């Protein structure tokens, strides 16, 4: 509920601070006194866009702050999602700077205007002519029926399974598209994969093949080098090993003359052993050396295949070809397995669609079960509001499609007079009729859900005293479970309020200011008497005003 409102430097308001109470509050005042300004300021703090024309003094900033008790509105989730501090007494502040920019705060945390607007919709419902047009919108009509049918938890479940089904359908479509595209590439990918698999690629393979090929391709030169090396080492007269053996013998004799000579002798001995081993290895290589034209041709073919694959795939390293082979293998396997994946996806889509249908059917049945009573309650409530022959034809039919709120198609038809054909509300109901219908619907909704604070802006315009009395009674009844405001020019309505405020203008020199204040009981008598008979209050007008206020304290008929 709205607890406080303060406005500074807005339109005709210098500074305004007002506190509001629970129940039914009526707001009165002469035409042009500033009631619309009050609504405008409230709209700004609830997220409406602003401009410099909002400022009374364009050199100072405009500040509007409203306090709300939000404990009964289940808004903790909204505050968490919006990264706001939750306070049961929440303060919303809007500042419009002289440069035209504006800032918004919730519990002193800066917020975007869209967040403020979303929060505002949950806190106050300003019932103006524009808002009355919502009555003609199909979405709002569904909200009314679902509230009466108690479909809130069923709709949550429906949207949950609908989202799962939608995601499953989207996944199936993606798999089907992927299969269609993959099939076109499958043959080519299989061909590339076969080429790479036949090459038998392993890490380090290229270096080994190139080394073996170089040896076989140069076998004659290698043989010559081995023979020459063998001769240099093993020649009986001039070979390195023979000479090294003589050197070793000399140094062994020299070792007897000191440890330094002994060390040299040992090193030469080790070198002799190593060279002797090398000589044996060269001889074995020479014996093993054998030309193999067939193997040479095989190596050439393998290397050429690898070089061709490297060129074809635009890579240099053998490891890159191996990675391409693995990637192609994955693509081919995925394509080959897509059929199985699609079958599973189709099965899931069918299963989830059945679940959606079951919940949608439950929602539809609950709607159908309340339409008769809803229709009767609206028609009965409208009779004392000057619409004795008003009737509704609420038609619910099933669709093969799934919408965000079920699978039903709703037609909300209306006839204001006997014998008139039913038609859409926006085509046959006048503005005054729409206002009264909306009042009745809001009164019905108040019995089924926790509505936000509601403010009716001259909803009683153009109706008779008797009808206005009944409209006031409806609003007073609503105020037993919620906070209700109404801006009115009718004394019968003003008297029904638990609290009454007056909006008025003050002229000081060349300056006009708007203000608002709560009326005490005697002030209410005077205000209502003036509404009945004008500024010159007669005794009968005063008595009538007292009677209206006394009646308001009794039970609502």
The C-alpha angle 428, 393, 406, rounded to 5 degrees, equals 110
Neighbouring CB atoms inside 10 A of 406's CB total 28
Sequence-distant (≥ 6) Cβ neighbours of residue 5 within 8 angstroms: 16, 17, 18, 20, 41, 42, 45, 64, 65, 66, 67
Cβ count within 10 A of residue 399: 12
**Phi, psi (deg, nearest 5) at residue 20:** -120, 155
83: region left, alpha or beta (phi > 0 left; psi from -120 to 50 alpha): left
Nearest residue to 491 via CA among 537, 539, 543, 530: 530
* The pLDDT value given to residue 52: 67
Report which of 478, 378, 380, 381 is spatially closest to residue 145, judged by C-alpha positions.
378
Within the chain, all domains assigned CATH 3.40.50.300 are found at: 2-133+433-442+451-519
Low-confidence ranges of the chain (pLDDT < 50): 555-557
Tokens at residue 367, please? 């709607």
Q: Are 279 and 233 in contact (CB under 8 A)?
A: yes
pLDDT, tens only, 195-222: 888 888 888 888 888 888 888 888 889 8
The answer to pTM > 0.75 is: no
Rounded distance between C-alpha atoms, residue 13 and residue 65, angstroms: 14
CATH of 2-133+433-442+451-519 among 3.40.50.300, 3.40.718.10, 2.40.30.10, 2.170.150.70: 3.40.50.300
* DSSP assignment letter at 137: S
Contact partners, residue 394, CB within 8 Å, separation at least 6: 145, 371, 374, 375, 410, 411, 412, 413
DSSP at 451: P
Cα-flanking dihedrals φ and ψ of residue 534, to 5°?
A: 100, 180
CB 355 within 8 A of CB 161: yes
pLDDT value at position 449? 83
Distance CA 502, CA 288 (A): 119
The pLDDT score that the predictor gives to residue 557 is 38
CA distances from 355 to 162, 398, 402, 405 (A): 9, 16, 12, 15
Say if CB 544 and CB 495 are below 8 A apart.
Answer: no
- Is there a contact between 179 and 359 (Cβ–Cβ < 8 Å)? no
Sequence-distant contacts of 528-537: CB under 8 A, at least 24 apart: 528/491, 528/494, 528/495, 531/28, 531/489, 531/490, 531/491, 531/494, 532/491
Taking the C-alpha atoms of 223, 227, 232 and 235 in order, what is their torsion angle to the nearest 10 degrees? 170
Scanning 218-258, the segments in alpha helix (DSSP H) are 219-234, 240-254
Task: State how beta strands 484-487 and 24-28 pair.
Answer: parallel
Long-range contacts from 316-319, C-beta under 8 angstroms, 24+ separation:
318/201, 318/202, 318/203, 318/204, 318/205, 318/206, 319/203
* Phi, psi angles (nearest 5°) of residue 239: -65, 150
Question: Rounded distance, CA 407 to CA 354, Å?
Answer: 13
Helix (H, G, I), strand (E, B) or coil at 320: helix
């Amino acid at each position: 509920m709205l607890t406080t409102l303060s406005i500074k430097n807005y339109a005709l308001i210098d500074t305004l601070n007002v506190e509001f109470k629970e129940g039914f509050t009526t707001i009165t005042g002469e035409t042009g006194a500033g009631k619309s300004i009050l609504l405008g300021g409230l709209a700004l703090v609830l997220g409406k866009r602003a401009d410099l024309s909002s400022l009374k003094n364009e050199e100072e900033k405009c500040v509007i702050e409203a306090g709300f008790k939000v404990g009964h509105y289940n808004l903790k989730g909204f505050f968490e999602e919006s990264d706001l501090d939750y306070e049961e007494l929440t303060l919303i502040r809007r500042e419009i700077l002289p440069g035209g920019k504006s800032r918004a705060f919730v519990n002193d945390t800066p917020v975007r205007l869209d967040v403020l607007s979303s929060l505002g919709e949950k806190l106050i419902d300003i019932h103006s002519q524009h808002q009355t047009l919502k009555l003609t919108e199909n979405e709002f009509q569904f909200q009314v029926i679902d509230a009466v049918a108690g479909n809130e938890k069923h709709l949550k479940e429906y949207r949950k399974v609908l989202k799962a089904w939608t995601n499953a359908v989207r996944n199936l479509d993606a798999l089907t598209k992927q299969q269609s595209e993959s099939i076109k590439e499958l043959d080519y990918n299989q061909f590339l994969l076969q080429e790479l698999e036949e090459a038998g690629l392993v890490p380090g393979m290229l270096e080994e093949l190139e080394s073996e090929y170089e040896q076989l391709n140069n076998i004659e030169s290698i043989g010559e080098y081995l023979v020459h090396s063998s001769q240099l080492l093993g020649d009986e007269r001039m070979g390195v090993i023979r000479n090294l053996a003589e050197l070793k013998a000399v140094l062994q004799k020299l070792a007897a003359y000191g440890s330094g000579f002994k060390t040299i002798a040992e090193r030469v001995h080790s070198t002799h052993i190593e060279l002797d081993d090398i000589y044996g290895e060269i001889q074995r290589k020479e014996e093993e050396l054998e030309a193999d034209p067939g193997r040479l041709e095989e190596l050439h073919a393998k290397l050429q295949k690898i070089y061709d694959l490297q060129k074809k795939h635009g890579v240099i390293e053998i490891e890159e070809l191996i990675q391409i082979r693995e990637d192609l293998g994955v693509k081919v396997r995925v394509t080959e397995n897509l059929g199985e994946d699609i079958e599973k996806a189709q099965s899931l889509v069918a299963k989830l669609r059945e679940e959606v249908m079951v919940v949608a059917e439950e929602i539809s049945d609950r709607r159908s079960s309340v339409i008769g009573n809803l229709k009767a309650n609206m028609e009965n409530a409208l009779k004392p509001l000057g619409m004795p022959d008003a009737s509704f034809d609420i038609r619910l039919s099933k669709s093969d499609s799934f919408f965000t709120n079920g699978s039903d198609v709703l037609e909300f038809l209306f006839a204001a007079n006997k014998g008139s054909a039913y038609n859409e509300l926006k085509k046959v109901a006048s503005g005054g009729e729409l206002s009264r219908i909306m009042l009745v619907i809001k009164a019905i909704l108040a019995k089924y859900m926790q509505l936000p604070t509601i403010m009716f802006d001259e909803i009683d315009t153009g109706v008779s005293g008797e009808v206005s009395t009944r409209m006031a009674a409806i609003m007073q009844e609503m105020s037993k479970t919620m906070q209700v405001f109404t801006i009115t020019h009718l004394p019968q309505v003003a008297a029904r309020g638990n609290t009454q405020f007056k909006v008025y203008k003050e002229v000081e020199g060349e300056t006009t200011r708007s203000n608002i204040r709560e009326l005490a009981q005697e002030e209410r008598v005077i205000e209502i008497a003036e509404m009945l008979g004008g500024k010159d209050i007669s005794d009968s007008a005063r008595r009538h005003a007292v009677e209206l206020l006394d009646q308001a304290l009794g039970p609502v008929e």
